[in-house]
Amino acid sequence: MLLNTSKQTDLKESDITDQAIYRDRRKFLQKSASLTAVSMAPSFLWPTIVSADISFENIIKSDFSTKDELTPIDAVAGYNNFYELGLDKGDPKRNAHHLKVKPWNVLVSGECEETGEYALEDFISPAKLEERIYRLRCVEAWSMVVPWVGVELGPILKRFKPTSKAKYVEFKTILDPENLPGQKRQVLEWPYREGLRIDEAMHPLTILAVGLYGKELPNQNGAPLRLVVPWKYGFKSIKSIVSINFLEEQPPTSWNIAGPREYGFYSNVNPDVDHPRWSQKRERRIGEFLKRETLPFNGYADEVASLYSGMDLKENF
Amino acid sequence: MLTSQSGKKIKPVLFILLLVPLAMLAYRFYSEGFGANPIETVNRYTGDWALRILLSTLAFSPLIRITRWHNIIQYRRMFGLFAFFYVCVHLSSYIVLDQFFDFSEIIDDVFKRPFITAGFSAFILLIPLAVTSTNKMVERLQYRWIQLHRLVYVIAMLAVLHFWWMVKVDTREPMIYAIILAVLLGFRLFFYIKRKV
């Protein structure tokens, strides 16, 4: 019941299960699963999960949460950019069942000591789930307010003991063209990939989300595990992560490959740097009629502006 | 073969048919709403229909050449004016709903965003065509009327560009319109070359 207890916050790096033991455990589980033919899902994956319509318990509130009015869940889970599940905003919800989220493993590789493939439950469970109500600003000039459920990314990354060479973190979305309708066409270079500088990844505002509105992530929102970086345009918050890779060099990222002049590596929300094809000065909050002013770093300037001190943000857009 | 007698009956039918897209929009609003981003929905929808009806006006002359239904030419003006009408609705939805009369933003858009420059130019160029659409104007301008109304080729190309430059990565839909336009213009080129030869 790791997710449930209140004294699990200070995980030491030594707490990580040894790779050898971990691999054996997987084998054991596979065997027992095939023997008993009992589904390992959901009780095994999520110890705190109640049942079918899966809710999390004892989610901690966070001081980082905004007081802005929440965007209704119908919009949060019905108006999505998730090209793997289709290009129209309504497609991801319609095609959500094509994304197979159980079982789910995350491959950790690159400049860290604890590389390996981790099952989702090992990945998240030692940390405490928090509710983070964040503004989400899409590069397309609309925005939402989403009550995410997740954990800070930084402590999780530290468990893998990144080396001094780890200057960047690269993330990849699942590649499954057999099942994911959007991946049958090369609209973007699949798998979708994103990256952060290591200090951005370690920033306490950066989270890995596993849920929203108190429940497991709907598939169309990037189940079962997604990044949320609230001061950057939405496309940086990569969905359905299967790979985390520590790198010395800045990794290529999907939208930057597709349109280098339009989507920068940093893609911090910035009202002073327009997208070449539309203004970024204002945004339409979903549910509102009049546009509102877009804030530098999406309103998180106090927390994150120092990460970029001395940088020309028009150059490094 | 159509007679002008039956033409009088067909015109009101076409008029109503051309209003159906607008009626469908209204129906959708009352039945299910426009979804999470209603303004975007209205903008895309009216833009789609403006482009479709605009391209349909270019289908008349190839169709006449192929079918010899010369009488259908009497309906072309209605399609042209409806194209202008849907363009106006589309533009209004941008000015009123999307920008809410923020003219500094609108002017910025028109001059700085190529896709809006293209769309707005198409609108401006449509105005003289709409103004000179009356019988009187056709008589008065004579051959110059034909020359003036050849602007519709430029307008149609601007309209397709407007769509093409707007999309982020998936150009399939604007490509369909571009192909249709290419076919419609290709017909004209074909007949033009045939006449020369």
DSSP code, position A99: S
Each residue of A62-94: pLDDT tens digit?
999 999 999 999 999 999 999 999 999 999 999
Is the model's pTM score more than 0.80? yes
Of B35, B37, B113, the CB nearest to A278: B113
Burial A123-146 (b: 16+ CB within 10 A, else e): bbbbbbbbbbbbbbbbbbbbbbbb
Average pLDDT, chain A: 86
Given this model, what pLDDT does residue B180 score? 98
Q: Which ipTM was obtained for this model?
A: 0.85
Given this model, what pLDDT does residue A267 score? 97
Given this model, what pLDDT does residue B7 score? 66
In the predicted model, what is the mean pLDDT of residues A204-227? 96
Task: Please indicate if any CB of chain A lies within 8 Å of the CB of B101.
Answer: no
The 3-class secondary structure across A186-252, one letter per residue, is: CCCCCCCEEEEEHHHHHCCCCEEEEEECCEECCHHHCCCCEEECCCECHHHCCCCEEEEEEECCCCC
Given this model, what pLDDT does residue B6 score? 66
Which of the pair, B7 or A289, is modelled with greater confidence?
A289
Enumerate the β-bridge partners of residue A211. Answer: A149, A216
pLDDT band at A126 (very low <50, low <70, confident <90, very high): low
Of B37, B100, B102, the CB nearest to A79: B37
Burial class, B168, CB count within 10 angstroms (exposed 0-12 / middle 13-18 / buried 19+): buried
In three-state secondary structure terms, A39 is: coil
Which of the pair, A39 or A235, is modelled with greater confidence?
A235
In three-state secondary structure terms, A279 is: coil
Q: Are the beta carbons of A277 and B166 separated by less than 8 Å?
A: yes
* Minimal-distance CA residue of chain A relative to B100: A290
Cα torsion A259, A262, A265, A268: sign? negative
Each residue of A132-172: pLDDT tens digit?
999 999 999 999 999 999 999 999 999 999 999 999 999 99
Of B39, B102, B115, the CB nearest to A284: B39
Q: Are the beta carbons of B36 and A79 separated by less than 8 Å?
A: yes
Task: Please indicate if any CB of chain B lies within 8 Å of the CB of A87.
Answer: yes
Residue type, B166: M
pLDDT band at A56 (very low <50, low <70, confident <90, very high): confident
Question: What are the per-10-residue average pLDDT scores of chain B (197 residues)?
Answer: 64 95 94 89 96 97 93 94 98 96 94 95 98 94 93 98 92 96 95 86
Residue A15: pLDDT above 80? no
β-bridge pairing A168-173 and A207-212: unpaired
Domains along the sequence of chain A with CATH: 55-308 (3.90.420.10)
Given this model, what pLDDT does residue A37 score? 35
Question: Which positions in chain B touch A90 (Cβ < 8 Å)?
Answer: 35
Q: Are the beta carbons of B168 and A90 separated by less than 8 Å?
A: no
Task: Please indicate if any CB of chain B lies within 8 Å of the CB of A258.
Answer: yes
